[in-house]
Structure 1
Amino acid sequence: MSRRLKPGEYAEARAFVAVAQARSFRRAALDLGLTASTLSHAVRAFEDRLGQRLLNRTTRAVTLTEAGARLLQDLAPALALLDNAVAAAGAPEDAPMGTVRLAAPRFAIQMLVAPAIERLARFYPHVTLDVRTIERPGDLIEGFDLGIQLGNEVAQDMVAVALTKPFATAVVGSPGYFAAHPPPVHPTDLARHRCIGCLSGPGGSLYRWTFERAGETVTLDVSGTLVTDDADLMLHAALTGIGLWHGVDHIAQPMIDEGRLLRVLADWSPTYPGFYLYYAAGAPLSPAVRAVVDVFKGIGRGDHRATSAGL
């Protein structure tokens, strides 16, 4: 930046960075504990001070202008350094501190990140975990310290740490659905069923359902009245009798135990690698990143608390 921030501009700059990173006034407002209108006013005031439009706003999306993209690139690291400096001033000596950025798919956030938050707050109160939902992170995205993905296929310069056991797939439907449709006994029977389509392949293609038993593999294109990339909507549709859901047994099991879902084709369910935490190899991890890794490893082992043991 070519000039210093005036006192009121610090909050405005933080508001701009939050919205720019979230690409949403609503999500950024939730992150900061503000109303969307307050955040919008702060960003507008910041733009007026700079004499530059930083964000393009429509009813459907928030995008960065060229000037906004340049400013975000410079401003986000500077604000992170400032936050870390403020945190360090009030932290005990040698305590892990700072912001750790994590990319993970939604299911991993629900299963692993949610319990990690409580442990981090309890044992590492000066570490901030910045979590972003990325369904297919692949190689660690620039600007992130850690990632979570299914399987341990990572680049040679990455380290992968197992967090969960392998998953099995599950096909489930509601009791009401099966009251009107005979349960399938072979995967090919699914051609006569309403199946909930999942958009998760490359480029958002429709996921093909795969089954295995005794060396036989069956892969199917399914059809139904719903196609979506939203996992919560798929599960809701299955619970309300819209169709059959094909997903991970860990998610469905509580609802199967409660009788809200019935599982079919269980003997045809293949298994897949579980979740892995991954990060760049070589350079030593910062104390804050090391603390987060320790917490996730503890959750993966089923420990009741995090430890500060080294890697």
Structure 2
Amino acid sequence: MRPDNLSHLSAFAAVARHASFRKAGAELGLSTSAVSYAIRGLEERLGVNLINRTTRSVALTDAGQRLLERLQPVLHDLGDALEEMNDFRATPTGTLRLNMSHVAARLVVAPLMSRFLAAYPDIALEIVEDDSLADIVGLGFDAGIRFQESVPEDMVAVAIGPAQRGLVVASPAYLEGRAPLRHPNDLFDHNCIRYRFPSGRLYKWELEKDGTQLEMDVKGRVTVGTMHLALQAALDGVGIGFAIEGSVTEHISQGRLVSVLEDWCPYFPGFMMYYPRQRRTSSALRAFIDMAREAGAGRSSGQGVSP
């Protein structure tokens, strides 16, 4: 195979993954025009149209879909073959592409990033924050990070952090002059900050005490689509919010937020890193998992909670 054939096929696969010439170029480190040139060269060589593109959309033709189906296993095998060469290197190398929720990015990856990059100077990190359940295989990611309940069943999942819990929080200004909350049903007398998943589903607050489990369909005037905005609304005194403990610990310790109904806020399994079962685990991914698990074990010891 001519070298330019392989680069053109890689460009085609990237465009198919992203349905975008610009995003494919960003992944490959190429300009949009270079990606377009590669696709045009591949189509001319094959004598068929692979991609229908307009100013608004990019879609595979039937021939393009057939080529992609045949091409993906070959590219995966080729990637695995090249990755095996890393076993002969003193240190891991390559680009590690991770897809994760915003909360996972803040609580898991951000504290590790500097140390990981310093320890492995030949590894480049690409991090995409995405609260939807992205298809990490189809989008070309090496792994994802989500809570256990969100990990697809066909993936290998590895715990990389301590147990977590959700806390019901509000600002002192909001709580001032209001009756104390003693039971989750008291939430119905308050303005709660609701969160809607990218899928459109509203999150029901999960609370538990002495074996009694509740899913609270709370009411409120504000519904948001990011946990960051929900937290900011709670800090601003808009109402009562629900947040992962690690994201509000500092605010509570400094008096900006107050945790209520704590006896109804149990621990649950923490973050999981997951990746395709059939794909060889890259040395870069193994290095990241090892460091994340080590850091998670340290945080767990500090909390006295098992991951």
Q: Give the TM-score, by structure 1 length.
A: 0.69
Alpha-carbon spacing, 1:242–1:23, altered in 2? closer, same or farther (3 Å): farther
Name the CA shift for 1:276/1:224 in 2 (closer, same or farther; >3 Å): same
In structure 2, the residue matched to 1:175 is 172
Greater relative contact order (Cα < 8 A, sep 6+): 2
Alignment pair present for 1:117 and 2:113: yes
Q: Return 5+ residue gaps in structure 2 as ranges.
A: 300-307
Deviates further, 47-56 or 123-132: 47-56
User: 1:285 is matched with which residue: 281, 284, 291?
Assistant: 281
- CA change 1:144–1:47 in 2 (3 A) is closer
Letter in 2 for 1:223: K
Cα deviations by residue, 1:225-272 (Å, 9 ceiling, x for unpaired) = 222221111111111122211121111111111211122111211221
How large is the RMSD of aligned CA atoms in angstroms? Answer: 4.6
Aligned length: 288
Partner in structure 2 of residue 272 of structure 1: 268
Matches within 5 A, 1:132-147: 132-135=128-131, 137=133, 141-142=137-138, 143-147=140-144
Pairwise mapping of residues 1-311 of structure 1 onto structure 2 (< 5 A)?
A: 56-58=54-56, 64=59, 66=61, 93-135=89-131, 137=133, 141-142=137-138, 143-151=140-148, 159-179=156-176, 181-200=178-197, 203-280=199-276, 285-302=281-298
* TM-superposition CA deviations, 1:107-135 (whole Å, max 9, x none): 11111122333233212122233333344
CA distance in 2, matches of 1:134, 1:199: 14
Match of residue 304 from structure 2? none
Q: Matches of 2:268 and 2:186 in 1, distance apart?
A: 23
Kept after mapping to 2: 8 A contact 1:173/1:241: yes
Residue 24 (structure 1) shift:
7.7
Q: What secondary structure does 2:256 align onto?
A: coil
1:261 corresponds to which letter in structure 2?
L
What's 1:309 paired with?
none
- In structure 2, what residue type is equivalent to 1:170? L
Structure 1 CA distance for aligned equivalents of residues 239 and 120 of structure 2: 44
Give the aligned residue type for 1:270.
P
CA distance in structure 2 between the partners assigned to 1:181 and 1:255 by the alignment: 21
Which runs of no fewer than 5 residues in structure 1 stay unpaired?
Answer: 304-311
The answer to whether the 8 Å contact 2:157/2:274 transfers is yes
In 2: Cα distance, 1:206 partner to 1:56 partner: 35
- 1:33-68 deviations in whole A, cap 9, x for unaligned? 99xxxx66666777787798765555xxx6545488
The percentage of counterpart residues that share the same residue type is 34
